[in-house]
Amino acid sequence: MASQSAKQAAPKLRYLSAWFCPYAHRATIALEHHADLVSYEWVEALGWEQRNDKNNVTGTGKEWWYHWKADELTRSNPSGLVPTLIPLDEEGKPNEEKSVRTAASLPSDPYLAAKCRYWADKVNRECCSPYYGVLVRTDEEERMENFNKLVSGLKAFSREIEKNGDGKTFLGGDRLSNTDISLMPWAFRYYIFEHYRGEEYAIPYDEPELHAYKEWFDNVFSLESVKRTLPDKDRYLEHIGKYADSSARSKVANAVRRGVSAHEIEDDKDTY
């Protein structure tokens, strides 16, 4: 979880987040990486609650898990999703009508900015969304299909960073771009695959095609601004077990169960 480093100045944002959420983790990394530019107040706005399953509709012997949401989250974001950023006015009052949902980190050069946007979208589709396919789909073949898609996406990313610079980040150097930040929360979380799906779901870091990815991984997760954002691994493993055993009812889990990708959630179809 994020440190207090960004809170020395008066907060300019209320940051509605959840410690476990990889989408919110993107925003946390961006906020901490630019802690000199922006200050915020963290609000834990989402969690789990187990609702009563009197009629045993789950058929699993266990009850389903749903997200509880802070009032501030449902008031300020009609989709009820974290991350949500609420700017504070000069008196420090939240302006909920102006809530925003992303914190981007783009280079000023328009070509590089476009390239980062393209690759951020590509890794989102190929390396982040399939993560939920591996976890939520119950058919073994479909799980493996998602895993293979994810590894191919990592190989494409690996080839691209080899071309770009010193390989320490997507564009080289220690400055994280939007592309790095899009992938990092999931890259950090892939360790859970082996635990829930077995050895054949381990990321093959030793394959030559993933060498550049591995170097990138080691570098970005050694940055101080990143280290202080990382969730506890055992605690996260327990959290994500609700996806692995199909007991989670959330927009992402529902979208993946109805057969679309996590980036294709629709409020009306995936609400629970």
Ligand X SMILES: N[C@@H](CCC(=O)N[C@@H](CS)C(=O)NCC(=O)O)C(=O)O
Cis status of the peptide bond prior to 83, with omega within 30 of 0: yes
- For residues 126 and 156, the answer to whether their CB atoms sit within 8 Å is yes
- Name the minimum Å distance from CB 23 to ligand X: 4
Nearest to ligand X of 18, 154 (CB atom): 18
3 state SS of 210: helix
Closer of 161 and 252 to ligand X (Cβ)? 252
Q: For residues 23 and 217, which CB has a smaller minimum distance to ligand X in the complex?
A: 23
Kindly tell me which residue out of 31, 81, 183, 187 binds ligand X, with binding defined by CB under 6 A. Answer: 81
Which residues 11-30 are close enough to bind ligand X by CB under 6 A? Answer: 18, 21, 23
Say how far apart CA 35 and CA 40 lie, in whole Å: 9
Contacts with ligand X by CB under 6 A: the residue count is 13
- Selected binder of ligand X within 137, 189, 242, 251 (CB under 6 A): 251
Instruction: Give φ, ψ of 237 to 5 degrees.
Output: -55, -40
252 binds ligand X (CB under 6 A): yes
Q: Count the alpha carbons within 13 Å of 96 in the hemisphere toward its beta carbon.
A: 10
Among 35, 46, 128, 212, binds ligand X (CB under 6 A): 46
Of residues 82 and 88, the one with the C-beta less far from ligand X: 82
Q: How far is the CB of 199 from ligand X (least distance, A)?
A: 27
Indicate which single residue of 14, 67, 143, 239 sits in contact with ligand X (rule: CB under 6 A).
67
- What does the alpha-carbon distance between residue 72 and residue 63 come to, in Å, rounded to a whole number? 27
Stretch that binds ligand X, among 80-88, 170-178, 200-208, 210-218 (CB under 6 A): 80-88
Helices (H), 35-139: 71-76, 110-123, 129-136
Q: How far is the CB of 81 from ligand X (least distance, A)?
A: 4
Separation between Cα atoms, residue 208 and residue 211, nearest integer Å: 5
For 209, counting Cβ atoms within 10 Å of its Cβ (0-12 exposed, 13-18 middle, 19+ buried), the class is middle
Residue 90 neighbours by CB distance under 10 Å: 7
Site for ligand X in 184-243 (CB under 6 A): none
Q: How far is the CB of 271 from ligand X (least distance, A)?
A: 7
Min dist. Cβ of residue 33 to ligand X (A): 18
Listing DSSP states for 171-194 in one string gives: SSSS---HHHHHHHHHHHHTTHHH
Task: Select 32 or 270, whichever has its Cβ closest to ligand X.
Answer: 270
Residue from 99, 179, 247, 250 binding ligand X (CB under 6 A): 250
Contacting positions for ligand X (CB under 6 A):
18, 21, 23, 46, 67, 80-83, 101, 250-252
